[in-house]
Structure 1
Amino acid sequence: MVAFPALLTAGVPFVRINSCNPLEIKSPTVPPAFSGYPAADRTGWAAFRAEYDRTHRELWTSFNAWVVEQGAPPLSDLEFIHESRTTNLYVYPEAADYPRELGPTWRRLDSCVRETDTGSFDVPPGEGALIYFSLGSLGSADVELMRRIIGVLAKTPHRYVVSMGPLHEEIELAANMTGAAFLPQTSVLPHVDLVITHGGNNTTTESLHFGKPMVLLPLFWDQYDNAQRMDELGFGVRLDPYRCTAGELTTAVDRLLTDTALRTRLSATGSEIRGRDGLRTAADAIERSAEATGLRSRAPR
Structure 2
Amino acid sequence: MTQLTVLFLPESAYGPTNQCIGLGNLLVERGHRVVFASESSWAGKLAPFGFVERLVDLAEPDPDAGDEDAGQFWTDFIAETAPEFRKSTAEQLESFVKPTYEALIDGVKYAEPQLRKIIAETQPDVIVEDNVVIFPALTTSGAPFVRVVSCNPLEVPGEGIAPGLSGLAQADPASWAPFRTELERTHRDLWEQFNAWVVEQGAAPLPDLEFMPRDNAANLYVFPEEADYVADRPLDGSWTRMDSSVRRTDDEYVVPAAVADRPEGSALIYLSLGSLGGADVELMQRLVDTLATSPHRFIVSKGPQADKITLADNMVGEQTLPQTKVIPQVDLVITHGGNNTTTEALHFGKPMVLLPLFWDQYDNAQRMDEVGFGIRLSTYGFEAEELHGAIEKLLGDTDLRARLDQIGAAIRERDGLKVGADVIERVGLAHAASRA
Q: TM-score, normalised by structure 2?
A: 0.67
2:340 to 192, 202, 224: 202
Matched, 1:121 2:259: no
- 1:190: which partner in 2? 328
The percent of aligned pairs where both chains have the same amino acid is 59
1:105 — aligned with what?
A: 238
- Structure 2 distance, partners of 1:103, 1:185, is 33
Aligned residue in 2 for 1:19: 150
Gaps of 5+ in 2: 1-131
Letter paired with 2:221: Y
Per mean C-alpha deviation after superposition, the further-off stretch among 207-216 and 91-100 is 91-100
CA distance in 2 between counterparts of 1:155 and 1:130 reads: 14
1:91–1:67 Cα change, 3 Å: same
Q: RMSD over aligned Cα, in angstroms?
A: 1.4
The aligned residue for residue 431 of structure 2 is 293
In structure 2, give the amino acid aligned to 1:172.
Answer: T
CA distance in 1, matches of 2:181, 2:379: 27
Distance 2:375 2:348 in 1: 17
Equivalent residue of 1:101, what SS? coil
User: Paired residue for 1:83?
Assistant: 214
Task: Give the distance between the partners of 2:214 and 2:278, measured in 1 at CA.
Answer: 33
Q: 1:282 aligns with which of 385, 405, 420?
A: 420
2:301 aligned with 1:170: no
Partner of 1:239: 377
SS for the counterpart of 1:165 is coil
User: Does the CA contact (< 8 Å) of 2:147 and 2:216 recur in 1?
Assistant: no
Q: Which letter does structure 2 place at the counterpart of 1:257?
A: L
- Structure 2: how far apart are the matches of 1:230 and 1:86? 31
- 1:218 alignment partner in structure 2: 356
More helix by share: 2
The structure 2 residue matched to 1:263, chosen from 379, 393, 401, is: 401
Which structure has more RCO (C-alpha within 8 Å, separation ≥ 6)? Answer: 1
Aligned to 2:74: none
In 2: Cα distance, 1:8 partner to 1:176 partner: 51
Supply the distance in 2 between the matched residues of 1:41 and 1:95 (Cα, whole angstroms): 20
- Superposed CA deviations along residues 112-137 of structure 1, whole A, max 9, x for unmatched, are 10000024322532221000000011
1:287–1:296 contact (8 Å) kept in structure 2 = no
Moved more, 112-121 or 89-98: 112-121
Q: Mark the CA change 1:71 to 1:210 in structure 2 (over 3 Å): closer, same or farther.
A: same
Partner of 2:284: 146
Change (3 A) 1:296 1:92: farther
* Distance in 2 between residues matched to 1:28 and 1:229, nearest whole Å: 17
Residue aligned with 1:293, SS: helix
Pick from 227, 236, 240 the counterpart of residue 365 of structure 2.
227
Aligned-partner SS, 2:368: helix
Tell me what 1:34 maps to: 165
Secondary structure of the equivalent of 1:112? coil
> Match of 2:202?
71
- Residue pair 1:290, 1:296 contacting (<8 A) in 2 also: no
Name the CA distance, whole Å, in 1 between partners of 2:352 and 2:288. Answer: 17
Alignment counterpart, residue 137 of structure 1, candidates 269, 275, 281? 275
Q: Tell me the distance in 2 between the aligned counterparts of 1:119 and 1:111.
A: 20
Contact 1:16 1:84 in 2 (8 A): no
2:392 is matched with which residue? Answer: 254
Residues 223 and 242, structure 2, Cα contact 8 Å, conserved in 1: yes
Task: Tell me the distance in 1 between the aligned counterparts of 2:284 and 2:378.
Answer: 14
Aligned to 1:57: 188
The answer for unaligned runs of 5 or more in structure 1 is: none
Whether contact under 8 Å (2:207, 2:214) holds in the other structure is no
How far does residue 7 in structure 1 lie from its aligned partner after superposition? Answer: 1.7
For residues 263-298 of structure 1, the C-alpha deviation after alignment (integer angstroms, 9 at most, x for no partner) is 001000000000001111111111111223335999
The ranges of structure 1 where at least 4 consecutive aligned residues each deviate by more than 4 angstroms after the TM superposition are 295-298
For the residue of structure 2 that corresponds to 1:95, the secondary structure is helix
Residue number in structure 1 paired with 2:47: none
User: Amino acid of the residue matched to residue 14 of structure 1?
Assistant: F
Question: Mean Cα displacement is larger for which, 218-227 or 121-130?
Answer: 121-130
Q: Give per-residue Cα distances to partners, 1:6-55, cap 9 Å, x unaligned.
A: 12210110111100000001110110000001111102211111110110
CA contact (8 A) 1:14 1:84 kept: no
Q: What letter is aligned with 2:261?
A: P
TM-score (norm 1): 0.96
The total of aligned residue pairs comes to 298
Aligned to 2:381, what secondary structure does the other structure show? coil
